Amino acid sequence: MDKSKKHSILVVEDDNATIMMLTNSLSPEYTVFAAKTGKNAISAAEKYKPDIILLDVLMPDDVLDGYGILGSLKKSEITKDIPVIFVTGLDSNEDEAKGLSMGAADYIAKPFSADNIKLRIAKQIKMSEQMREAEHLSKTDQLTNLPNRRGLEERLNVEWLSAIREHQPISLLIIDVDKFKNYNDAYGHPQGDMALKALGRCLRNSIKRPRDFAGRWGGEEFLLILPGTNAQGAATFAESLREQVQEMEVPASEEMAQKITISIGVSTADNPPAKDGAPDKGKTEGGTMEGFIAEADKALFIAKKSGRNKICSFSGDSA
């Protein structure tokens, strides 16, 4: 997160005096939004994606009380991970237990002090940042600093479903370093690591669109996801990438810079969706994301079998 940008707080409260008190207290340090009804609260949470939501349980003029609002927030993919702190006049142990059991991050009974609110908010923001950092690290390959297999699988699932909804093609490239074992044997594993890092930088630099996504699939294999890209566009991209890597010099710790080449398997799902909700591609194995990956893997096998330093696009006839 941009350290120069203020964190944001959404205050959900039907009492104007409480809204003003919280806004005046928090606004020097935070960007504060306010909502007085459940409907507006959910809309504001999805629009602004605040770092913390302060939520009253008692909303007497609304169809949703605080528990109902929290339930709706937790059901939404957009808002489910936003920490919610109940700030309410309900101070019984049963009320607090109910709120926490529903997923609230904290529970503060009224009357409260501004200093207490600030301390609780700061604690939740710190915990959220630590969790986000841990989540980021769990999805990042430590050698190349690209997304790892977990990160790739999550992103591919998102883009696959998006292709279905938007009736758009999606293409996938599986990239493998040719004869990487021989490269490691000849130059040593540290030099092999340098080659993978160099390839990672090349992949990162090849991405020009916000939704294109590259990562390390495992070992010397990398994946590149190209949403909204048809078979011809994917093949053109793959060939350009192959040429870039062929011309790339890998930094060497000793002697001269070394060269590597890659083979690429390409798979494209066109014209989604089919009647069963899967992309309508007759040759797709079962119309599934797993089949889509398997097709690119088969195309990669053919590229390597036919001499390496090549690209191959999947077709039902050649697989």
Q: How far apart, in whole angstroms, are the C-alpha atoms of residue 120 and residue 26?
A: 12
Q: How far apart, in whole angstroms, are the C-alpha atoms of residue 279 and residue 169?
A: 8
Report whether 289 contacts 241 (CB < 8 A): no
- Give the residue numbers marked as catalytic: 220
Neighbours of 261 (CB within 10 A): 15
Going by their DSSP bridges, the two strands 84-88 and 221-227 should be labelled as unpaired
- What does the buried/exposed string (b/e) look like for 95-123 if buried means 16 or more CB atoms within 10 Å of the residue's CB? bbebbeebebbbbbeeeeeeeebeebbee
**Residue 175 is inside which H or E element, if any?**
strand 170-177
Burial class (CB in 10 A: 0-12, 13-18, 19+), 52: buried
Q: How many helices (H) and strands (E) does the chain have?
A: 10, 10
Task: Residue count of the chain, please give it.
Answer: 319
Instruction: List 8's β-bridge partners, or say none.
Output: 31
